[in-house]
Amino acid sequence: MDNISPVLEPVNKTKNGYDSSPENIKRSQISIHEAIKSGNEDIVIKIICSNPEIINAREPRYNRTPLLVAVDIGYYRISEILLVYKCNPNAADIYGLTALHTAVSNRSPRLVKLLLDYGANVNPPQRFRGMTPLYMAVEYDLRSTVAMLLKKGASISDATVEGRNVLDVAMTVSSAMRRLVRSYEVKDIIERNRMMVRLHGCKAFWK
């Protein structure tokens, strides 16, 4: 992405309370999670460059990756840096929250789009209380986010642990949300029917 370079000039002075010299970073005295919380993009990049494997390191308490921390705080630029350096966009914490869940929960369509652009699974197997990101977006009445997720193929039929699916929730939120979800439900049914016709044609061909 723009202006994200793996090559950085050495910085030996303390910034935001951290000694960002290459020697200090090499000794792993700065946790990547701490660097992200400080909002210091330069130090985050230096830590990644000094040890690329740290890109998906987990926090001990909530099992969060650097991306989960950055998205939770709302740091767009740092989230983008982590994604450019090939972090896992689909990692989940101990509660089953992925970065996409978190971006939706924080009502950040910009971060939702960023995550989707970098391959975040729109139907993650991990669920927060059984909820998909789409379910959360519908429940919060986030129409632009719902539209983004649906365009990327988010499942309308997936149910939560309570057995309610996305359309069930949309019915209780607003008429606009109900119309939006239903319009994609129709498209989904049409596409499934087309798929069945194609599969039937293939079977007939091989008989």
d(CA 38, CA 83): 18
Mean pLDDT on 181-198: 58
Kindly indicate the confidence band of residue 60, based on its pLDDT and cuts at 50, 70 and 90: confident
How does the average pLDDT of the chain come out, rounded? 81
pLDDT at 158 over 50: yes
Instruction: Judge contact between 79 and 70, C-beta under 8 A.
Output: yes
3-class SS of residue 98? strand
Q: Classify domain 30-121 at the CATH class level.
A: mainly alpha
Considering only CA atoms, which of 156, 100, 105 is closest in space to residue 126?
Answer: 100
H or E element in which residue 192 lies: helix 175-206
Q: Is 92 helix (H, G, I), strand (E, B) or coil?
A: strand
pTM of this structure: 0.76
First to last CA, the chain: 51
Percent of the chain at pLDDT exceeding 70: 75
Structure tokens at 162: 């309570």
Residue 69, pLDDT > 80, answer yes
Q: How confident is the model at residue 205 (pLDDT cuts 50, 70, 90)?
A: very low
Confidence of residue 130 (pLDDT cuts 50, 70, 90): confident
Fold matches, 30-121 and 122-202: yes
Tokens of 107: 């009502």
pLDDT band at 132 (very low <50, low <70, confident <90, very high): very high
Asked if residues 78 and 41 have their Cβ atoms less than 8 Å apart, the reply is yes
The second-level CATH assignment, the architecture, of 122-202 is Alpha Horseshoe (1.25)
Query: Using 50, 70 and 90 to split pLDDT, how confident is the model at 146?
Result: very high
Which of 81, 69, 4, 77 minimizes the C-alpha distance to 36? Answer: 69
Q: For the chain, what are the domain ranges?
A: 30-121, 122-202
